[in-house]
């Protein structure tokens, strides 16, 4: 019982943190589907329920009226193309909700007006409505939430985000796969093969974990430039950035995978060895399948990091339009379309959609892969 | 289905000598059990035979071929591990097929071998399950099945029953005995620290102690004619009582006066020169009988353990000696804190001098 207040505190702060993260994200999500004008006048939370508004519609001056048995009838819709539900209407600004929807209002001079719930009105009178001022119709209406995909259409095709999306994928996917391939081999050797200097090599890799990557940007770029000049190719290429991301990701990859693989039962390897398997066969048929949780958890890390990376991409790929990655495009948009919330919200969502998908697809391996090896 | 020969085999890690001078001749069709206390090197010896540990000295031959440098996979052995060591991501069928697939055997042959092994081990309904969906006993059978499909020259079992609960252990022990009967030609080496397993399964037991072989022999040979005090105390439960004494009469029947004052006669013959020598008398707890006449041992019962079929009596120890234990058939109530005299028939009394048995070989 003594720990009860602590438990409550823990639960409360968890809820708080979850709200702190998910609420703005959700708001961004809703905003990205809203109309530019709606964003300007109301908050995203109002977009979810039906909004009540008071409005006025001026009936046309006799256009489209029909004469029948001496009465002129004018029909139309107060919403003029939009949709909604009329709750009440009136004919003067003093009493804008004098009549309920569906009632018939007497305007005097034999004229009458009725507005149905769906917004269609019928105005009829003994004389033509031509050459008169259009009748004002005040109404109270509720509008259902309205969402649009226009923002996404705009950012993906007009603002170049689609192109950048592909660029980011071109950077992130190989930058995730290549280090995993290399690290898996290295991790197996470092955990299950005997060779002199193994412990030293592991220590060196752990040491590399703490080297800040900013430190190596300029030396690396100089090497790239020199190699590009010597061999006659563009130093700022996708291959270059794949190599850079691979290098930056490898220490963590090897470290994580080795820790996982070293925790696999020794008897399984020995059994496979007695069964006649070579090291390569043990690696491909036993260690790799069993290490899937660790591979997946590293894949999440590396993918998120390369997808969200701006620094390495700008340095090794450059800011040209055809190679600009998503993060870079977002930065540009912030500058050029800083006031257009609908554009920014939709862009932000395009850029976080993939990480969210990757995370939810692999999240069950994330915790398992991180805990394995450390907790027995 | 092979002979195995170890000639002065040794194992050392740097300066630490784990095993030394192991000489052993294993004939085809034998089931050899290595027993010994923890750390005696029995598992290491098995792993050296398997090729999982290097051999530091001596020669290991299988069918007359030296195997010291041959990798594990080419020694023609199959090993069953204590932890089963099943491949957790493969079905039972794939677990058994693994070695054969590595060896690139034709599929029909692989399937036939698996069907046969599954039938012997009653695993046929479980062939497509993953190991995690099996009980402990079934997992152990899969591990054995994985060995059987390879049709190895030598089967190696490394404490295969240690992870099973008591009831399952007895059942699986009997299954292994039956399995051996179905494959009379197969050579098996079995490591255990459980002497019941050793006594029930083995055609010969190798008792290891302190990196060397203490004695090799059939289970009953070890029980009836232990060569030294270690084997005498290791085989049998509770352990044999060892009592200090002095030889008072030699000949076909030896008479020993025990330190406690009692006199005991042993049918172990002794030379006249041994008169007056310090010896240790070994009597198994089950060979003591209460007596009103001349007592070999007299003492106060400190603890009794009634097991139903037998009653164990622990006598008050004098000094730092281990307490004398007697095992009486049936139920004996009310013996606690009573003084009791015990005797033993001469043909059940062992004599040891300097740790070695005086029984003629």
CATH of the domain at B37: 3.40.50.300
Whether the predicted interface score ipTM is above 0.90: no
Is residue A190, in this structure, part of any structural domain at all?
A: yes
Cβ <8 Å between A273 and B150: no
User: What mean pLDDT comes out for the span A13-42?
Assistant: 86
Is residue A274, in this structure, part of any structural domain at all?
A: yes
Q: CA A279, CA A285: separation in Å to the nearest integer?
A: 10
A36-50, B128-142, B254-268, B335-349: least confident range: A36-50
Domain boundary (B234, B251, B279) is at B234
- Check whether residue A139 and residue A200 sit in a common domain: no
Secondary-structure breakdown of chain B: helix, strand, coil percentages, each rounded to the nearest 5: 30, 35, 40
Smallest Cα distance from A255 to chain B, Å: 24
- Check whether residue B175 and residue B295 sit in a common domain: no
The answer on pLDDT for A239 being more than 50 is yes
- Check whether residue B211 and residue B280 sit in a common domain: no
Give the Å distances, CA to CA, from B170 to A237, B43, B174, B223.
68, 22, 6, 21
- B18: tokens are 């784990």
The answer on pLDDT for A283 being more than 90 is yes
- Residue B122 touches chain A, beta carbons under 8 Å: no
The answer on pLDDT for A94 being more than 90 is no
- Check whether residue B126 and residue B249 sit in a common domain: no
Cβ <8 Å between B87 and A286: yes
**Which of B88, B139, B191 has the highest number of chain A CBs within 10 A, making it the mutation to test binding with A?**
B88
Q: What confidence score (pLDDT) does residue A372 get?
A: 47
| Total domains, chain B | 2
- Check whether residue A224 and residue A348 sit in a common domain: yes
- Check whether residue A42 and residue A113 sit in a common domain: no
| A200 vs A348, more confident | A200
- Check whether residue B42 and residue B147 sit in a common domain: yes
User: What mean pLDDT comes out for the span B215-219?
Assistant: 94
Considering only alpha carbons, which residue of chain B is nearest residue A273? B73
Which residue reads 């055809």 in tokens?
A322
Q: What confidence score (pLDDT) does residue A36 get?
A: 79
Q: What confidence score (pLDDT) does residue A376 get?
A: 32
The answer on pLDDT for B35 being more than 80 is yes
| Domain that residue B205 falls in | 4-234
- Tell me which residue in A276, A286, A290 faces B99 most closely, judged by beta carbons: A276
Give the Å distances, CA to CA, from B18 to A188, A335, B11, B36, B78.
29, 74, 6, 13, 24
**pLDDT confidence band for B294 (50 / 70 / 90):** confident
**pLDDT confidence band for A160 (50 / 70 / 90):** confident
Which residue reads 């079905």 in tokens?
B91
- Residue A173 touches chain B, beta carbons under 8 Å: no
- Check whether residue A187 and residue A324 sit in a common domain: yes
Domain boundary (B184, B208, B234) is at B234
- Check whether residue B196 and residue B310 sit in a common domain: no
Which residue reads 């993906």 in tokens?
A156
| Domain that residue A128 falls in | 50-143
pLDDT tens readout for residues B170-194: 888 998 898 899 888 889 999 998 8
Is the Cβ–Cβ distance between A317 and A236 less than 8 Å? yes
Is the Cβ–Cβ distance between A184 and A295 less than 8 Å? yes
- Check whether residue A159 and residue A233 sit in a common domain: yes
Cis bond before residue B91 (omega within 30° of 0) = no
User: What mean pLDDT comes out for the span A135-162?
Assistant: 81
Coil, helix or strand at residue A129: coil
- Residue A285 touches chain B, beta carbons under 8 Å: yes
- Check whether residue A57 and residue A42 sit in a common domain: no
- Check whether residue B30 and residue B151 sit in a common domain: yes
Q: What percent of chain B has pLDDT over 70?
A: 99
Q: CA B79, CA B144: separation in Å to the nearest integer?
A: 8
- Check whether residue B55 and residue B124 sit in a common domain: yes
Q: What confidence score (pLDDT) does residue A102 get?
A: 80
Domain boundary (A77, A108, A143) is at A143
- Check whether residue B247 and residue B147 sit in a common domain: no
Contacts of A372 in chain B (CB under 8 A): none
User: What mean pLDDT comes out for the span B311-332?
Assistant: 86
**pLDDT confidence band for A6 (50 / 70 / 90):** confident
- Check whether residue B111 and residue B82 sit in a common domain: yes
Is residue A376, in this structure, part of any structural domain at all?
A: no
Which residue reads 């409550």 in tokens?
A8
Cβ <8 Å between A268 and B102: no
Give the Å distances, CA to CA, from B126 to A256, B9, B119, B142.
35, 41, 11, 10
The answer on pLDDT for A64 being more than 80 is no
The answer on pLDDT for B157 being more than 90 is yes
- Check whether residue A234 and residue A347 sit in a common domain: yes
| Total domains, chain A | 3
Q: CA B166, CA B136: separation in Å to the nearest integer?
A: 12
User: What mean pLDDT comes out for the span A198-204?
Assistant: 94
The answer on pLDDT for A292 being more than 60 is yes
CATH assignment at residue A213: 1.10.3720.10
Considering only alpha carbons, which residue of chain A is nearest residue B49? A274
- Check whether residue A89 and residue A125 sit in a common domain: yes
Which residue reads 């994985």 in tokens?
B146
pLDDT tens readout for residues A217-228: 889 889 999 988
Q: What confidence score (pLDDT) does residue A368 get?
A: 65
- Check whether residue B180 and residue B292 sit in a common domain: no
Considering only alpha carbons, which residue of chain B is nearest residue A277? B102
- Check whether residue A114 and residue A201 sit in a common domain: no
- Tell me which residue in A265, A281, A285 faces B83 most closely, judged by beta carbons: A265
The answer on pLDDT for A2 being more than 60 is no
**Which of B51, B79, B158, B159 has the highest number of chain A CBs within 10 A, making it the mutation to test binding with A?**
B79
Q: What confidence score (pLDDT) does residue B319 get?
A: 67
**pLDDT confidence band for A159 (50 / 70 / 90):** confident
**pLDDT confidence band for B33 (50 / 70 / 90):** very high
The pairing of beta strand A99-100 with beta strand A85-90? antiparallel
pLDDT tens readout for residues A246-267: 999 999 999 999 998 998 888 8
User: What mean pLDDT comes out for the span A69-96?
Assistant: 78
Q: What confidence score (pLDDT) does residue A129 get?
A: 76
- Check whether residue A139 and residue A212 sit in a common domain: no
Q: What percent of chain A has pLDDT over 70?
A: 94
Is residue A307, in this structure, part of any structural domain at all?
A: yes
Largest alpha-carbon pair distance within chain A?
A: 109
Is the Cβ–Cβ distance between A47 and A32 less than 8 Å? no
Is residue A311, in this structure, part of any structural domain at all?
A: yes
Q: What confidence score (pLDDT) does residue A205 get?
A: 93
Quote the DSSP letter at residue A92.
Answer: B
- Check whether residue B230 and residue B248 sit in a common domain: no
- Check whether residue A191 and residue A323 sit in a common domain: yes
Quote the DSSP letter at residue A157.
Answer: I
Q: CA A49, CA A35: separation in Å to the nearest integer?
A: 15
- Check whether residue A288 and residue A195 sit in a common domain: yes
Domain boundary (B192, B208, B234) is at B234
The answer on pLDDT for B285 being more than 90 is yes
Smallest Cα distance from B213 to chain A, Å: 26
Contacts of A289 in chain B (CB under 8 A): 89
Q: What confidence score (pLDDT) does residue B39 get?
A: 85
Q: What confidence score (pLDDT) does residue A374 get?
A: 39
- Residue A277 touches chain B, beta carbons under 8 Å: yes
- Check whether residue B182 and residue B259 sit in a common domain: no
User: What mean pLDDT comes out for the span B141-167?
Assistant: 90
């Amino acid at each position: 019982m003594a720990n009860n207040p602590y438990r409550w505190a823990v639960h409360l702060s968890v809820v708080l943190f979850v709200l702190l993260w998910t609420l703005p994200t959700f708001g961004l999500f809703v905003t990205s589907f809203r109309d530019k004008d709606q964003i300007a006048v109301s908050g995203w939370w109002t977009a979810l329920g039906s909004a009540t508004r008071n409005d006025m519609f001026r009936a046309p001056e006799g256009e489209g009226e029909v004469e029948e048995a001496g009465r002129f009838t004018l029909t139309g819709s107060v919403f003029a193309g939009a949709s909604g539900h009329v709750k009440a209407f009136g004919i003067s600004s003093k009493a804008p909700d004098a009549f309920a929807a569906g009632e018939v209002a007497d305007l005097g001079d034999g004229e009458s007006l009725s507005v149905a719930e769906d917004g269609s009105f019928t105005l009829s009178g003994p004389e033509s409505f031509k050459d008169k001022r259009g009748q004002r119709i005040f109404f109270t209406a509720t509008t259902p939430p309205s969402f649009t995909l226009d923002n996404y259409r705009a950012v993906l095709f007009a603002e170049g985000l689609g192109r950048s999306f592909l660029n980011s994928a071109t950077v992130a996917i190989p930058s995730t796969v290549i280090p995993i391939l290399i690290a898996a081999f290295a991790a197996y050797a470092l955990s299950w093969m005997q060779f002199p200097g193994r412990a030293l090599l592991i220590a060196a890799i752990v040491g590399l974990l703490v080297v800040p990557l900013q430190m190596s940007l300029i030396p690396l770029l100089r090497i790239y430039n020199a190699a590009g000049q010597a061999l006659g190719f563009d130093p700022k290429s996708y291959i270059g950035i794949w190599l850079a991301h691979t290098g930056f990701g490898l220490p963590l990859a090897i470290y994580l995978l080795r820790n996982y693989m070293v925790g696999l039962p020794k008897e399984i390897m020995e059994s496979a060895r007695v069964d006649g398997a070579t090291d390569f066969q043990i690696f491909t048929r036993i260690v790799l399948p069993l290490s899937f949780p660790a591979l997946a958890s590293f894949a999440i890390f590396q993918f998120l990091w390369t997808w969200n990376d701006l620094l390495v991409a700008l340095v090794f790929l450059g800011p040209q339009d055809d190679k600009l990655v998503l993060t870079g495009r977002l930065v540009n948009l912030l500058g050029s379309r800083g006031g257009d919330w609908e554009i920014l919200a939709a862009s932000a969502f395009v850029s976080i959609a993939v990480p969210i998908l990757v995370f939810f697809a692999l999240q069950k391996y994330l915790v398992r892969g991180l805990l394995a090896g450390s907790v027995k | 289905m092979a002979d195995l020969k170890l000639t002065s085999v040794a194992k050392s890690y740097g300066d630490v000598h784990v095993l030394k001078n192991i000489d052993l001749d294993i004939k085809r069709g034998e089931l050899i059990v290595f027993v010994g206390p923890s750390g005696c090197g029995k598992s290491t010896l098995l792993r050296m035979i398997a090729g999982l540990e290097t051999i530091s000295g001596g020669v290991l031959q299988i069918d007359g071929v030296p195997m010291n440098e041959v990798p594990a996979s080419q020694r023609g052995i199959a090993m069953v591990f204590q932890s089963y060591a099943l491949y957790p991501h493969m079905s039972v069928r794939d677990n058994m097929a693994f070695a054969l697939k590595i060896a690139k055997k034709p599929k029909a042959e692989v399937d036939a071998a698996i069907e046969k092994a599954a039938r012997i081990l009653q695993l046929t309904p479980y062939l497509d399950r993953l190991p995690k969906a099996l009980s402990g006993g079934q997992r152990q059978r899969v591990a054995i099945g994985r060995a059987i499909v390879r049709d190895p020259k030598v089967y190696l079992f490394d404490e295969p029953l240690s992870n099973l609960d008591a009831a399952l252990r007895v059942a699986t022990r009997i299954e292994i005995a039956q399995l051996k009967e179905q494959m009379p030609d197969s050579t098996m080496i079995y490591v255990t620290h459980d002497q019941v397993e050793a006594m029930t399964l083995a055609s010969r037991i190798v008792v290891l102690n302190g990196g060397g072989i203490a004695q090799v022999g059939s289970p009953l040979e070890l029980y009836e004619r232990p060569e030294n005090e270690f084997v005498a105390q290791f085989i049998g439960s509770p352990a044999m009582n060892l009592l200090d004494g002095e030889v008072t009469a030699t000949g076909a029947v030896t008479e020993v006066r025990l330190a406690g004052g009692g006199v005991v006669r042993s049918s172990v013959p002794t030379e006249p020169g041994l008169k007056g020598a310090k010896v240790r008398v070994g009597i198994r707890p089950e060979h003591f009988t209460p007596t009103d006449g001349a007592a070999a041992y007299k003492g106060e019962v400190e603890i009794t353990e009634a097991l139903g079929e037998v009653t164990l009596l622990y006598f008050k120890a004098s000094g730092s000696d281990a307490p004398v234990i007697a095992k009486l058939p049936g139920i004996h109530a009310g013996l606690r804190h009573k003084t009791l005299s015990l005797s033993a028939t001469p043909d059940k009394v062992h004599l040891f001098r300097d740790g070695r048995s005086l029984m003629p070989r």
